[in-house]
Structure 1
Amino acid sequence: MAVKGTVRAGIIDVHAHWLPRELLSLPPGFPLGGMSDRDGELYLGDNSLFFPTTAMTDIEMVVADTLKVGLGARAVSAPPFAFPVFAPSEADDYVSAYNDQLATAVSSSDGTLVGLGLIRVDDVDAARREMTRLMAMEGIAGIAVPPLVQGHSYDDGVMRQVLAVAADAGLAVLVHPMQLPRPEWKNHYLVNLIGNPVETTTAVASMLLDGVMEELPELRICFVHGGGCAPSLLGRWQHGWRARPDVRQGSSRPPTNSFAHLYFDTITHDPEVLRLLTAQAAPDRILCGSDYPFDMAQPDPVRYLLDNGLDAVTLERNGRVFLGIESGG
């Protein structure tokens, strides 16, 4: 699927967030309650997110920051708290409202923004209906989804079927963790500092070891935060695949082979980790990411990449291919 509408030339940030004020309530069932504005600062339940509400909700601020940091364009998606996973059958209205407002917002950005919409991942028919709507919307490139839902990932069941629908539709898929709580991560923001990369790593492993990319070679799927721990564990997975029949029973090719078909963003917070990622992943699968506007964002994503040896032309081309944007700005 090619994105409808013109997109500005330059490096494309595939990982940034936007949510309109009208939808700060979040989908039904979210355990911490909704998001809210308190004296100009955005809160999730009773917890401050440490940035202005307008950075998340004001599309003009998103555009201004995109231009300020030297990006050509940004792909914006909902923050992961807005994924409809806790009471999904009650979230259809929220999902459709977000996608309608997303399409309106990106189409008014003069080619600076593209959108990654919301879908349900519990019901393949509901997912297909919403993806069909997204395909007709100007400026929409794909979907953003969680890596894990109630102990399941994309290796089997409905979640795997959802990826098959996305591949058939030609929609890009951005996989973003949700900060799932665990008692050992209750302090020091470990639910993010450890939890986010672990969620992503689990999903990457499920994709590689259960043959998802073998089944869906046309799928364009990106794992954020540099793929979590996956680049540093790839050798271990490769050894296990060769050493144990239970590890390789779901896939006919070794993990390193399928790893080369996955996309990854560049939010690594460490040049050495970025170098490991670029050594393990295919050069045409590396995508600029920022995680705007969160506190864990890379504040100057273009400078970070250029200062560490990545090429602007390649990054722009990779972003356009992943998002289905035709060449030229």
Structure 2
Amino acid sequence: MSTLPFEGGASPAVDVHAHILLPALQQLVSDADPEGFGAQQALEVRRNGPESMAASGRMIKERWPQLTDLDRRLADMDAQGVDVQLVSPSPSHFYYFAGEELSLQLAMAANQAVREFVDRAPERLNGLGLVPLQHPALMVEALEHAVLECGLLGVEIGSFAATPGDPERSTVELSDPRLEPLWTRAEELGALVFLHPFGCSLDERLDRFYLANTVSQPAENAVALSHLIFSGVLDRHPGLKVLAAHGGGYLPTSLGRSDHAWKVRPEAHGCAQPPSSYLKKLYFDSLVHDPAQLRALVAAAGPEQVLLGSDYPFDMGSDSPADEVRAASLPADDAAKVLAGNAAALGITPASILTARPTA
């Protein structure tokens, strides 16, 4: 088990859900595939609606320094009482519309960019890379590049991927048999797979009132995790480390109906145990925005399965993630696990204390 380098001082805090923006990556994809990039931008406008797109544009402009400037990030971490961030690319960089050659180029460019960012403050940061979910046959190569070549702790994926050239059609779900090599290799490497939805197939039904985020993110988490559970992925890969953003969305505290379906419906019986039992095999960040809901998440999944997350620096994140965990009034031992202990158990440490990169 890895240990954190700041034991003995104040209670440590490890934020496992924090993002960086990679402008060079956006430039690369817009230059290489302007038609695909334009279509993806148009889809986002349709899904979010003009009011939310305008508000998000202003938010990104205001928070550009937090997304790109290391010194500002470190100052914010100090103000928040966060010792370590596990940084991942903004989900806007998934670019699941890209073709095979471009998608692998983008994933490797993102992996290298995250590595370079982490290396500027390895005592405070570690990182996750990307894999092209829309091209399952390329995912192991991208995963190995992230973990073995770039020394990152794992990869970030979305809740589904669309067909290249047809971004409205969801064709790769997390239950897809073509993903089996990814789960196998991630389990072998001990790599973390961070599930972070971006976009929702409900499209215009959510294009007002910011429902494209407030409803779609929890719904997409619930759908994607249900695909993992009901398809038996977690039975076949018991050592797989999947961390779900936003507290796993609607799933963790709403599994009674899933358990009932598992009992009475043969097509819902693809997993060996009742769906609720798999909460103990998954990990969730703490970003649920409500003390009672955080207590419910910890009660449902167990205190060993929940890790501190902020979604830094987006406006739907938390500016005081550690304080929000403490505000939930969890037992002291449970709060310590959420703040840093569970991260240590998963090997989420500052990059500087990892003496060697994986070679498996």
- What is the TM-score normalised by the length of structure 2? 0.80
Query: Residue 237 of structure 2: which of 195, 216, 228 is its match?
Result: 216
2:213 corresponds to which residue?
Answer: 192
CA RMSD, 1 decimal: 2.7
**2:15 is matched with which residue?**
13
Deviation at 1:54, TM superposition (A): 1.5
What is the aligned partner in structure 2 of residue 39 from structure 1? none
Name the SS for the 1:260 alignment partner: helix
Query: Are 1:82 and 2:93 an aligned pair?
Result: yes
Moved more, 192-201 or 58-67: 58-67
Change in Cα spacing, 1:322 to 1:241, as seen in structure 2 (3 Å) is same
Match of residue 313 from structure 1 = 336
Question: Matches of 1:47 and 1:75 in 2, distance apart?
Answer: 23
Identity of aligned residues (%): 28
Q: Is the 8 A contact 1:201 1:227 kept in 2?
A: yes
Q: Cα distance, 1:272 vs. partner?
A: 1.7
Q: How many aligned residue pairs are there? A: 317
| 1:98-133 Cα shifts (integer Å, max 9, x gaps) | 211211111221411110101112334422222222
In structure 2, do the counterparts of structure 1 residues 314 and 142 end up closer, same or farther at CA, with 3 Å as the change threshold? same
Give the 5 Å matches for 1:102-181.
102-137=114-149, 140-150=152-162, 151=170, 152-180=172-200
For 1:314, the aligned partner's letter is: K
Which 10-residue stretch deviates more, 67-76 or 14-23? 14-23
Structure 1 stretches of 4+ moved >6 Å: 43-46
Q: Report the Cα distance in structure 2 between the residues aligned to 1:291 and 1:268, rounded to whole angstroms.
A: 11
Q: Which residue of 1 aligns with 2:322?
A: 302
Distance 1:13 1:26 in 2: 29
Does the aligned pair in 2 maintain the 1:122–1:158 contact within 8 Å? no
CA shift, 1:20, in A, is 3.1
Over 3 Å counting, the alpha-carbon distance change for 1:157 and 1:8 in structure 2 is: farther
* Larger relative helix fraction: 2
2:257 pairs with one of 236, 245, 254: 236
Q: Which runs of 5+ in 1 are unaligned?
A: 34-42
Q: Per-residue displacement from partner, 1:246-301 (whole Å, max 9, x unpaired)?
A: 211x1111112212110001111111211211111022110100001111001100
From the superposition, tell whether residues 312 and 272 of structure 1 become closer, same or farther in structure 2 (CA, over 3 Å): closer
In the other structure, the counterpart of 1:36 is none
Alpha-carbon separation, structure 1, partners of 2:279 and 2:327: 26
Segments of 5+ residues of structure 2 without an aligned counterpart are 43-51, 163-169, 354-360
- Quote the Cα distance in structure 2 between the aligned partners of 1:26 and 1:46: 25
Q: Deviations over 1:143-201 (max 9, x none)?
A: 00001113332112323432222112211010001023511111111110111111111
Give, in whole Å, the separation in 1 of the partners of 2:219 and 2:88. Answer: 21
Q: Residues 143, 149 of structure 1: CA spacing in aligned structure 2 closer, same or farther, 3 A cutoff?
A: same
Q: Aligned partners of 1:227 and 1:71: how far apart in 2?
A: 22
TM-score, structure 1 as length reference: 0.88
